[in-house]
């Protein structure tokens, strides 16, 4: 391990006092630990349950995630409660259908930025503005855009294997000096430009500025890849490792946080954090603040285990109630993706997929292109398309679907909490606006369904951008070792299912164009004969998470279902903040890592102001 990778020992942390204790060394935790410790007079401890994984090729090589998934060294391997309206198909360890969904989350320094699929996508302007309009002054596009650019540095890649797949972006929409190098992937499948052409023939434009606040259209997405090396960038490599030599920063790995230690004054005050390390329980003291960055699943869980949450939940578990805050763990939203599609591409056109990349002739070709010192040969997904619902469904059908929600809002007015009503009103506005994307169409060059010898196989996956269904995450016992009960309540609202079906049917339209058929051997799964009710059943049985869940510690007014205020402070507490993806009150159609970096950057600004740092 290089000298600069200095980690703390248990003696550096146990019973010691720090100004700030950050819980969880994932995206948000690395940003906060790094930004706050920039000031040498501020002491910061970061507690991460997983290991450091420095220089681990399963992380640094872009497609190493395929070997991390379901491996407990890298993945928390969370499971949801059995779902009533959907089954997890294909993205499961055995490839079979399960009622309980598998929820991968990155464990170790860098968190899920080490295990994610590297897409670097920024939201639509109106999605960010909705956050402000829901009662969070200052959380607007301008501030978001400045923060997101501060986290990244655009590093163009020297070459790629499909130059006709255009790398379009505007210089004003990317950062030039942030810690996280982003770029366009060097090795792509080559199927993406084919889909772009097919979609263009159906009226979907190519977007030349996908990171500038308008997501609509098809584009080659950027990735968290350093264009100079071809390797994955993570929150650990970008933010944390360069800060490890600071004497005022102590980073302890293998430190599993059990609960916050609090005292009650006029508000709840955190005095420390209780954690487990190598089988023993310790406490670290805090003089200023505890910053929860354990992600959408564990941040609400840790609050509940600390007695902060819905008293009905806590009393049932035998947890002493320190603060009755009913919205902890509520408002869970997640992107649902239909993954039950496999398409075969023609074999003589040089397509590179998860199946074909290991073939010696493909490896040799890529090595010849990049040179021997060009870094690892690894495939990255980058084919994204974001479309308004009016593209996949007729405008009349979209209006009818919107009316079904409006009817629910008026007929069940007393049963729908006012906070959810406000969110639905924003969602309906976005749904009815034919310029704001509601759905994503992904071309995924990874074969989820092995069927015979290596061939260029890919998936055509539609994703719901703004689901109406809401779920919960709550502790199921008072034992910190037990996983919380995760109930995303997938596809509970009919509109979610209907839009998913329409989106797949639209992808089939794209597959029927001559632009596509010139390059494809056709649909293998579910197969063109599967339509109507059979298709509906197939779709319900083959969905997955995209691992973008948010909302369980929502930033909203308290009476609207808020857990944290616009300064990310937990209501009713003096010095506990949450600064990770769990605070996002309304899911954006965009993938969520870029927004998490930006939330944490803004959190650091707020904390610095509040403490005069």
Q: Which residues are annotated as a binding site for FAD?
A: 257, 547-548
Out of 175, 178, 190, 295, the only residue in the binding site for ligand FAD (CB under 6 A) is: 295
Out of 62, 64, 111, 307, the only residue in the binding site for ligand FAD (CB under 6 A) is: 111
Out of 117, 239, 444, 490, the only residue in the binding site for ligand FAD (CB under 6 A) is: 117
Alpha-carbon distance 584 to 303, whole Å?
17
3-state DSSP assignment of residue 278:
coil
The residue range among 203-211, 493-501, 536-544, 586-594 that interacts with ligand FAD, by the rule CB under 6 A, is 586-594
Q: Is 122 in the site for ligand FAD (CB under 6 A)?
A: no
Q: Provide the minimum distance between the beta carbon of 513 and ligand FAD in the complex, in angstroms, as a whole number.
A: 27
Alpha-carbon distance 102 to 85, whole Å?
16
Of the pair 117, 165, the CB lying nearest ligand FAD is at 117
The size of the chain, in residues, is 613
Q: Is 581 in the site for ligand FAD (CB under 6 A)?
A: yes
Residues touching ligand FAD: how many (CB under 6 A)? 41
Out of 116, 216, 306, 447, the only residue in the binding site for ligand FAD (CB under 6 A) is: 116
Closest listed residue to residue 232, CA positions, set 103, 66, 51, 363: 66
Q: Is 256 in the site for ligand FAD (CB under 6 A)?
A: yes
Q: Is 49 in the site for ligand FAD (CB under 6 A)?
A: yes
Alpha-carbon distance 604 to 35, whole Å?
6
The residue range among 225-233, 331-339, 420-428, 592-600 that interacts with ligand FAD, by the rule CB under 6 A, is 592-600
Please report, for residues 26, 49, 193, 252, the alpha-carbon distance to residue 7 in angstroms, rounded to integers and kept in the order given: 16, 13, 45, 6
Helix H, strand E, coil C: the string for 501-563 is HHHHHHHHHHHCCHHHHCCEEEEEECCCCCCHHHHHHHHHHCEEECCCCECCCCECCHHHCCC
Count Cβ atoms below 10 Å from residue 375 Cβ, excluding itself. 18
Q: Provide the minimum distance between the beta carbon of 179 and ligand FAD in the complex, in angstroms, as a whole number.
A: 15
Q: Name the phi and psi angles at 568, rounded to 5.
A: 70, 15
Positions 19 through 48 that interact with ligand FAD (CB under 6 A)? 23-29, 47-48
Full DSSP string of 66-89: HHHTT-TTTB--EEBPPPSS--B-
Alpha-carbon distance 328 to 123, whole Å?
25
Positions marked active-site: 548, 591
Annotated binding site: 257, 547-548
Out of 211, 393, 520, 596, the only residue in the binding site for ligand FAD (CB under 6 A) is: 596
Q: Provide the minimum distance between the beta carbon of 174 and ligand FAD in the complex, in angstroms, as a whole number.
A: 15
Out of 113, 151, 339, 573, the only residue in the binding site for ligand FAD (CB under 6 A) is: 113
Alpha-carbon distance 539 to 81, whole Å?
19
Q: Is 148 in the site for ligand FAD (CB under 6 A)?
A: no
Out of 53, 107, 150, 277, the only residue in the binding site for ligand FAD (CB under 6 A) is: 107
Out of 22, 33, 118, 131, the only residue in the binding site for ligand FAD (CB under 6 A) is: 118
Please report, for residues 223, 455, 487, the alpha-carbon distance to residue 187 in angstroms, rounded to integers and kept in the order given: 11, 17, 37
255 near 283, Cβ under 8 Å?
A: no
Q: Provide the minimum distance between the beta carbon of 216 and ligand FAD in the complex, in angstroms, as a whole number.
A: 18
Q: Where are the beta strands (DSSP E) in 414-484?
A: 439-444, 457-464, 472-474
Q: Is 106 in the site for ligand FAD (CB under 6 A)?
A: yes
Q: Is 483 in the site for ligand FAD (CB under 6 A)?
A: no
Residues lying near ligand FAD in the complex (CB under 6 A) are found at 23-29, 47-50, 104-107, 111-113, 115-119, 121, 255-257, 293-295, 298, 302, 547-548, 580-581, 591-594, 596
């Amino acid at each position: 391990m290089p000298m600069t990778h200095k980690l703390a020992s248990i003696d550096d942390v146990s019973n010691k006092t720090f100004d700030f204790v950050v819980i969880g060394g994932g995206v948000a935790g690395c940003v906060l630990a790094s930004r706050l410790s920039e000031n040498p007079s501020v002491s910061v401890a970061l507690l991460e349950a997983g290991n450091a994984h420095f220089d681990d090729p399963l992380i640094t090589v872009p497609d190493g995630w395929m070997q991390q998934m379901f491996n407990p060294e890298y993945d928390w391997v969370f499971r949801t409660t059995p779902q009533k309206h959907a089954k997890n198909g294909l993205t499961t360890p055995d490839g079979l259908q399960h009622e309980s969904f598998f929820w991968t989350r990155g464990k170790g320094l860098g968190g899920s930025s080490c295990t994610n699929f590297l897409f670097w996508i920024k939201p639509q302007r109106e999605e960010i503005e909705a956050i402000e309009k829901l009662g969070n002054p200052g959380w607007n596009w301008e501030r978001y855009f400045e923060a997101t650019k501060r986290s990244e540095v655009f590093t163009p890649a020297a070459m790629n294997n499909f130059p006709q797949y255009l790398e379009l972006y505007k210089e004003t929409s990317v950062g030039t000096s942030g810690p996280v190098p982003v770029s366009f992937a060097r090795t792509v499948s080559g199927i993406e430009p084919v889909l772009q052409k097919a979609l263009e023939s159906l009226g979907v434009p190519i977007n030349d500025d996908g990171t500038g606040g308008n997501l609509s259209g098809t584009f080659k997405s950027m990735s968290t890849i350093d264009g100079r090396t071809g390797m994955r960038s993570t929150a650990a490599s970008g933010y944390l490792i360069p800060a490890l030599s600071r004497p005022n920063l102590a980073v302890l790995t293998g430190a599993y946080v059990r609960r916050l230690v609090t005292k009650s004054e006029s508000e709840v005050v955190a005095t420390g954090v209780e954690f487990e390390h190598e089988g023993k329980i310790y406490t670290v003291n805090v003089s200023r603040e505890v910053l929860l960055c354990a992600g959408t699943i564990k941040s609400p869980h840790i609050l509940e285990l600390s007695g902060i949450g819905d008293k009905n939940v806590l009393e049932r578990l035998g947890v002493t109630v320190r603060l009755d805050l009913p919205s902890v763990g509520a408002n869970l939203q997640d992107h649902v993706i239909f993954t039950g599609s496999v398409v075969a591409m023609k074999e003589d056109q040089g397509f590179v997929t998860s199946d074909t990349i290991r073939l010696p002739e493909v490896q040799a070709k890529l090595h010849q292109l990049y040179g021997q010192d060009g870094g690892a040969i690894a495939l990255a997904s980058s084919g994204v398309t974001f479309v308004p619902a009016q593209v996949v469904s007729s405008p009349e059908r979209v209006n009818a679907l919107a009316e079904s929600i409006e009817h629910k809002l008026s007929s069940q007015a007393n049963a729908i909490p006012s906070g959810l009503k406000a969110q639905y009103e924003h969602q309906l506005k976005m749904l009815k606006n034919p310029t704001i994307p509601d759905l994503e169409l992904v071309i995924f060059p990874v074969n989820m369904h092995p069927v015979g010898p290596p061939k260029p196989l890919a998936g055509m996956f539609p994703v719901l951008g703004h689901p109406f269904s809401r779920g919960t995450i709550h502790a199921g016992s008072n034992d910190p070792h037990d996983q919380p009960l995760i109930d995303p309540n997938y596809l509970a609202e009919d509109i979610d299912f209907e839009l998913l079906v329409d989106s797949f049917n639209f992808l089939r339209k794209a597959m029927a164009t001559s632009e596509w058929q010139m390059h494809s051997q056709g649909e293998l799964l579910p197969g063109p004969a599967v339509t109507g009710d059979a298709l509906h059943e197939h779709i319900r049985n083959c969905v997955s998470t995209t691992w973008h869940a948010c909302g369980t510690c929502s930033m909203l007014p308290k009476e609207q279902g808020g857990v944290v205020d616009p300064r990310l402070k937990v209501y009713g507490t003096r010095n506990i903040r949450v600064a990770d993806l769990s605070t996002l009150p309304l899911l954006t159609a965009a993938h969520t890592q870029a927004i998490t970096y930006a939330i944490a950057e803004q959190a650091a600004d707020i904390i610095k102001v509040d403490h005069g740092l």
